């Protein structure tokens, strides 16, 4: 007798002598495979289309190191850094959003809403416009701004433990304050620098090169690996602090580590591409609905985030070609509709 994918027993994976473990249902595995294939298809289309059009076979040959003529340069040097960063940053934002939605136990708990995007943007703007820093200094500024904002939100929301609702309310307030600071910094800057910062502040992958991508290629996978390592403990925290402590999880230290990892993922994306909104908000919830899980799973959220950002960036490049929009414009338009639906759904539930 056949059994549906949703109701089959989960698969359990243990490595490292049992210190690292994970659970996955067959349905979740199938969803991840479908999302990965969809993201790969979008990526190939992005590599093939543009002012210099290539066939799919030419793209695949160039990726395999067998391309001829101008195709290898177009694919490997001009387009591949952008496509790879869209996938990597989308996965980072999906995991970051999943962490914060799990910690707050609220679908509105994402870096966009809580204000960590704004804090990372403030740190990057201070270094970029006021200190005249280079790319690596801007990256450290974004990380410092995001972490400082996270610590402020965490401490202001802390009262015998940190609770999701207080984190969201305090984060919204600090986000509004930081938005005013960001506008003031841009208004005080030189016109050319202010225009560049404003475009970057919309969230853009336009013109990204291997030089700009290299730090993110190193840092983001390490942060993703660390987040996945803490994922089982994150799922235990969803059962409540008392239950987590009974299972041997130190609730507040683990929560703090997850908070730092989520902010670091957001800051890494902000440093390279600016604050890209709504991917972190939508990807974990869309993945959860597809997998049918009761809680937030970081791996499906990563695949969904990669697909959402890669598809959004392809739309940003091609909708008004030859004009290329910042990808943040597309994610804000689509994410705004998702946020309205989510708020209406939460209102009906309450």
Query: What is the per-residue pLDDT across 230-258, written as a single tens digit (0 to 9) for each?
Result: 998 888 888 877 787 887 888 788 888 99
pTM: 0.88
3-state SS, residue 111: helix
d(CA 60, CA 69): 14
Nearest CA among 180, 189, 271, 179 for reference residue 223: 271
292: its two tokens? 């049918």
Rounded to 5 degrees, φ, ψ at 235 are: -65, -35
Question: Is domain 22-344 given the CATH code 1.10.3470.10 in the classification?
Answer: yes
Q: Bigger pLDDT: 165 or 320?
A: 320
Domains of the chain, by residue range, sit at 22-344
C-alpha distance from residue 23 to each of 225, 226, 266 (Å): 16, 17, 26
CB–CB of 336/124 below 8 Å?
no
* Residues 251-284 pLDDT 10s: 788 888 998 899 899 988 988 898 998 999 999 9
Over 90: is that where the pLDDT of 37 sits?
A: yes
Which pLDDT score, from 0 to 100, does residue 164 have?
Answer: 65
Of the listed ranges 29-33, 106-110, 218-222, the least confidently predicted one is 106-110
């Amino acid at each position: 007798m056949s059994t549906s994918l949703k109701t089959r027993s989960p698969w359990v994976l243990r490595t490292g002598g049992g210190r690292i473990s994970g659970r996955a249902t067959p349905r979740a595995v199938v969803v991840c495979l479908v999302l990965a294939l969809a993201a790969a298809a979008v990526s190939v289309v992005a590599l093939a289309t543009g002012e210099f059009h290539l066939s799919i076979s030419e793209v695949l040959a160039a990726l395999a190191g067998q391309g001829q003529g101008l195709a290898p340069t177009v694919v490997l040097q001009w387009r591949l850094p952008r496509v790879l960063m869209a996938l990597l940053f989308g996965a980072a934002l999906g995991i970051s959003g999943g962490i914060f939605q799990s910690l707050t136990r609220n679908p509105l708990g994402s870096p966009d809403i809580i204000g960590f995007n704004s804090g990372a943007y403030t740190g990057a703007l201070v270094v970029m416009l006021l200190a005249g820093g280079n790319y690596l200094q801007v990256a450290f500024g974004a990380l410092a701004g995001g972490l400082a904002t996270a610590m402020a939100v965490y401490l202001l929301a802390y009262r015998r433990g940190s609770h999701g609702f207080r984190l969201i309310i305090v984060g919204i307030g600090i986000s509004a304050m930081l938005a005013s600071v960001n506008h003031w910094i841009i208004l005080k800057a030189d016109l050319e620098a202010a225009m560049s910062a404003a475009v970057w502040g919309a969230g853009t992958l336009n013109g990204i090169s291997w030089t700009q991508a290299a730090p993110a290629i190193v840092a983001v996978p390490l942060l993703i690996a660390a987040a996945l390592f803490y994922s089982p403990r994150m799922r235990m925290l969803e059962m409540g602090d008392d239950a987590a402590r009974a299972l041997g999880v130190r609730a507040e230290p683990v929560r703090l580590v997850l908070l730092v990892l989520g902010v670091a993922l957001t800051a890494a994306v902000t440093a390279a591409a600016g604050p890209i909104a709504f991917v972190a908000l939508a990807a974990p919830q869309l993945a959860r609905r597809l997998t049918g899980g009761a809680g937030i799973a970081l791996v499906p959220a990563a695949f969904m985030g990669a697909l959402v950002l890669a598809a959004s960036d392809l739309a940003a490049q091609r909708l008004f070609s030859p004009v290329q929009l910042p990808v943040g414009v597309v994610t804000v338009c689509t994410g705004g509709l998702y946020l309205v639906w989510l708020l209406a759904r939460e209102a009906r539930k309450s």
